[in-house]
Amino acid sequence: MDSSLAILIGGTAVFAGGVGYLVARRDADRRRAGLAAVGAAGGVAASFLLMLYLATVALPATVGLVAFLAGLVAYLAFRRDLGRRRAALAASGAGAFVAAGFLFVVYLAVIAFVVAVGVYLLARDRLRISQAVILTGTTLGGLLAASALVFWVSLSYVM
């Protein structure tokens, strides 16, 4: 693993921890919010390390893991607001979309998904649910497009 990927993974884990703290702080005291932040950051870091390890074994298994984890996280994030059936549908779409993005921009697709879910969790109390879902989809699509542009530019200068 090179240093730039380690920095991206660390930054994503810190972002997830910050979002976990802010979301948990609404309902709990500082101690529980701190535990939620550590759990979110640890979960993101552990997921990336599992993906990196699995990528050395088999790429299709890594894509399957990405689809599964994205679907699971999306379901857990949407279930409270959308209900089980619509959350499952949204989670299936999110898992497929992130897995397809993973084939083109590798780990940047997962980072974009983590940021999009963080935006949803922060925005759902300030916006209507429909607006928060649209904002989340727009964030994910925009970050995946930006990731594709970054990959294209970096491959253009390397070749």
Query: What distance in Å separates the CA atoms of residue 134 and residue 148, rounded to the nearest whole number?
Result: 21
How many Å apart are CA 24 and CA 34, to the nearest integer? 8
Q: How far apart are CA 115 and CA 146, in angstroms?
A: 13
Record the tokens describing residue 78, joined without a space.
């949407």
Domain residue ranges in the chain = 3-158
**CA angle centred on 119, ends 27 and 54, rounded to 5°:** 100
Q: How far apart are CA 42 and CA 17, in angstroms?
A: 8
Interval 39-48: pLDDT, tens = 999 999 999 9
Asked if the model's pLDDT at residue 14 lies above 90, the reply is yes
Q: DSSP 3-state assignment of 75?
A: helix
HEC profile of 97-148:
HHHHHHHHHCHHHHHHHHHHHHHHHHHCCCCCHHHHHHHHHHHHHHHHHHHH
pLDDT at 25: 87
Query: pLDDT digit string (tens) for 91-119?
Result: 999 999 999 999 988 889 999 999 999 99
Q: What percent of the chain has pLDDT over 90?
A: 65
Task: Express each pLDDT in 77-97 by its tens digit.
Answer: 999 989 999 999 999 999 999
The rounded Cα 84 to chain-centroid distance in angstroms is 20
pTM score, two decimals?
0.90
Is the Cβ–Cβ distance between 2 and 101 less than 8 Å? no
